[in-house]
Every structure is written in C-alpha cells, then in structure tokens.
Structure 1
Amino acid sequence: MRFLAHQFKPQKPIPTLIMNPRQFLERPTKEAIRELPKFEGLPLQKICLVRTADDLLFARDEIFNASHVGFDTESKPNFVVNQPKTGPHLVQIATGQHAFLFTLNDSPGNELLSEIIRSDKIVKVGFGLKSDRGPLYNKLGAMLQPTIELCAAVRRLGYKQQVGVQAAVAVVLGRYLQKSKKLTTSNWAAKTLSDRQLLYAADDAYASLCVYRELVRVAPHVLR
C-alpha cells in the first residue's frame, strides 16, 4: 500500500508508506522538504486575533461548530539560564476556514479559551500537545482535552524518528511548510504582533488540521 496525498504531487519522490512493521521509513531531509511545493496556509484576512466582543462571538460560533480543530501554542523564548518559563503566551485554534489567535496576557478571550480547551465536544489535534497541558492548566485552570497527538499518528505510518509538523506536512501532504527560526524565537508576549507572526502562528494550527484530515482519508488506522 502506498501512502500518497490525493491532491498534492511532490516535485521529487519522498518515502512512501510500506505496510511492513519490520521496515522503518526515513524522515525526509530538510533539503528534500524545501524542494516541495509551498504549503498554502490561511490568508491574513482569515486570521482573527481575538480581542473584541465581536471577535469573541465570531470565534465561539466558528469553533463550536467544528468537531475537530487544529491546536498549537507559542511562547516567548527564554534566553537566560534558569529563568522561569511564563508561556504559553499565544494559543492558536484553526478550523477549516479560519484561525483564531488568543493572547494570554489579561486577554478578554481567556474565558472562552478555557471553555474550548475543556470542551469534550471539540477534539484538538496537533503536535506536542502533551507538553501544553501543564502550562495551559497553570494559566487558565483548564485541562486540555480531548486531543489527538499527531506526532504519534504520523510515526505509526512507519517512521522511527520523531516527526514534527514540518516533516508531517511533507510526508502526508507533499508540501513545504516554511519555518523561520527568527519568527519561532520572536516575542510572542508582545502587545502587538506583526503580520508575519500572525501568519506563522496560524500556519502551525491550520497545517495540523490539514494533516489530520488527510490521515482520516488515507490512513485512519494511525489515529487510534
């Protein structure tokens, strides 16, 4: 059985799924990933930084109408040894049409975000969600549930190594999700986020949802 994304055709072949539990696949190299067609994320006008009462109503309607959402967080990096971590500072939730970004510094969206995080009617899908549970609970008093950990799901395709969102987008969707170290380590606790930060943050949550939907279509067994 070959594992291929139905709507995407990589410019160069990458490892395909061989249903042999004794044979592990190699994660594609960074060079191979960069040669793939670019992942098309949500445009800026589809990204909502939740701040106003209207934003809250819009986010509630969209998110609670979705059974599964892409989920991710961003934290201001620590560059000082032994400095306590204060993140996450931003939470990203993506539906099929929009991404909603919630800041956690005295944000009016904290109550709605807590409700979403603990809701058993909304399944959160993403990468590294286990590491988000404790910090989110400390900040919001809400336990992240239910979740689908895509790192584990993609590894069940036959990969021995850990597979993050960028590699998963490559092997599942046949696309290159650009990751900028400068943006990754930018100040996510800033009062004003740049357009590039908004796009970067939305991409991670939206890409997670896209990977999940493709796995549902072609390899649902890995989502057990």
Structure 2
Amino acid sequence: MPQFASPTRDELALLEPLDRLGLADIVLVATAAQADHAWKLLSSCSALGFDTESKPTFFRDQVSEGPHVVQLSTLDRAWVFQLFDVRCRAIVAALLEAEHITKVGFGLAGDHTQIRRTLGVEPRNVLDLNGVFRKKGYAKEIGVRGAVAVLFNRRFLKSKKATTSNWANRQLSESQLVYAANDAWAAMRVFDALGWPPSQGV
C-alpha cells in the first residue's frame, strides 16, 4: 500500500479557509427541556459528528474532570451539550450508547476514557476517522485539519484561545460555541465525503 504524508503546517497555511457553521446553526443544550428536544431530533440519525471539550489541566498529574461539553452534529447543524443538568447527561449518554447511530470524530480514545468516568457509559458504534485514513496509507494521525485539506483542499480554522478556554463555565462564549460545534461538524463533513463504507481512494 502506498504511504501518504499528511499536509504540513506550511501547506495548510496556503489553503483558503473552510466555511464553518455560524451561531444560527448551533444549538446550545443546557436544560432538561432542551435535552429532550435534542433527543427527538438526534435519536433518529444514522450518523453524527462527535467530539468533547474539557477544562484544561495545568499541572503535572492533574486529572481532568471533563468532559464538560459534548458536541454532536449533522451535516447542517450542531448541538453543544453542557453536562451540569442530570437530564442533559442522561440524553448524551443515551445517544452515545445508541448502536444505530455511528458517532464519528478524530482522536477519540481520550474522549472514551473521560466519558466512561463522567457519564458511566461506554460509547458504542464509534468511528475514529484517523483509523480510516491510516488504512488508506496515512502513517501518522491525520487529524481534522489534515483530513479537511485532503478532501476539500481547504484549511480548517481552530482557535488556540478557544482550545485552552474554561469549558467548565456555565456561560459559554460565542467563540467557544463556534469552536466546539465546528469540531463535530467537520468530522461529519469528512465522514460524508468519504462515503460509507469509504472508497479505497482519498
């Protein structure tokens, strides 16, 4: 099998940005009523983009208490779940356990560990897209940025400030919502572009 190199940072910088979801297409889920409504919309989906966010740790051996946010996305809308409310946690747990929904994302091993600890469930039918690209000849983890570049010839924008922000805040900022939603949405876009089962060529 031929080996492919992931796009370099310099190569990514030359690409035009990928259009992203705006706030109008992002749903914050923080209450029981919002969680129940999200369940009605998402429980019938066959696939969802998936990611989590946690408050950063800053000290050696400090254990994260996350995830504090779980995001799920279709091709045209994303739901950002905060996990303070017990009903929100229950709905997220049910969606992650649902066998009929393929949850797709990048680098999900750490997410699994935190979800098991925080929500007490084992996510099922989860597809790490890094593994799909690895089978296609990409030796290193390609990540969402690399995948977007390979498939769409576009640069996926990620804010370092949002990455290291406090995801445990009860009031998330607009930049946090956009960041979290688009991580899940981009994974869903990649999954859709690959087709499933994906074709042999990328």
Decide: shared fold, TM above 0.5: yes
1:83 aligns with 2:40: no
Determine the C-alpha separation between the residues in 1 that align with 2:174 and 2:61. 31
Task: Determine the structure 2 residue equivalent to 1:114.
Answer: 93
**CA contact 1:76–1:189 (8 Å) conserved in 2:** yes
Task: Determine the structure 2 residue equivalent to 1:33.
Answer: 12
Task: Determine the structure 2 residue equivalent to 1:205.
Answer: 184
Determine the C-alpha separation between the residues in 2 that align with 1:118 and 1:136. 11
Determine the C-alpha separation between the residues in 2 that align with 1:53 and 1:106. 7
The counterpart of 2:140, out of the listed 156, 161, 184, is: 161
CA shift in 2, pair 1:53/1:75, >3 Å: closer
Whichever residue aligns with residue 115 of structure 1, its letter is A
Determine the C-alpha separation between the residues in 2 that align with 1:191 and 1:146. 30
Choose 112-121 or 26-35, whichever is displaced more. Answer: 26-35
The counterpart of 1:93, out of the listed 68, 72, 76, is: 72
CA shift in 2, pair 1:74/1:128, >3 Å: same
The counterpart of 1:49, out of the listed 6, 25, 28, is: 28
How far did residue 155 of structure 1 move? Answer: 2.0
TM-score by length of 1: 0.84
Give SS of 1:152's match: helix
**CA contact 1:90–1:101 (8 Å) conserved in 2:** yes
How far did residue 34 of structure 1 move? Answer: 2.0
CA shift in 2, pair 1:107/1:177, >3 Å: farther
**CA contact 1:124–1:147 (8 Å) conserved in 2:** yes
Give SS of 1:108's match: helix
Task: Determine the structure 1 residue equivalent to 2:82.
Answer: 103
**CA contact 1:51–1:107 (8 Å) conserved in 2:** no
Whichever residue aligns with residue 85 of structure 1, its letter is S
Displacement over 4 Å in runs of 4+: none
- Cα shift readout 1:71-95 (whole Å, capped 9, x = no counterpart): 0001111112222221111100001
Determine the C-alpha separation between the residues in 2 that align with 1:73 and 1:31. 28
1:143 aligns with 2:122: yes
**CA contact 2:50–2:104 (8 Å) conserved in 1:** yes
Calculate percent identity across the aligned residue pairs: 37
Give SS of 1:220's match: coil
How far did residue 200 of structure 1 move? Answer: 0.5
1:183 aligns with 2:162: yes
Determine the C-alpha separation between the residues in 2 that align with 1:82 and 1:115. 31
In structure 2, the gaps of 5 or more residues are none
CA shift in 2, pair 1:205/1:156, >3 Å: same
How far did residue 137 of structure 1 move? Answer: 1.3
Give SS of 2:50's match: strand
In structure 1, the gaps of 5 or more residues are 1-20
**CA contact 1:48–1:55 (8 Å) conserved in 2:** no
How far did residue 96 of structure 1 move? Answer: 1.9
TM-score by length of 2: 0.92
> Over the residues paired in the alignment, what is the CA RMSD in angstroms?
1.8
How far did residue 168 of structure 1 move? Answer: 1.0
**CA contact 1:48–1:99 (8 Å) conserved in 2:** yes
**CA contact 1:46–1:98 (8 Å) conserved in 2:** yes
How far did residue 217 of structure 1 move? Answer: 6.9
How many correspondences in the alignment?
201
**CA contact 2:106–2:130 (8 Å) conserved in 1:** yes
Give SS of 2:170's match: coil
How far did residue 56 of structure 1 move? Answer: 2.1
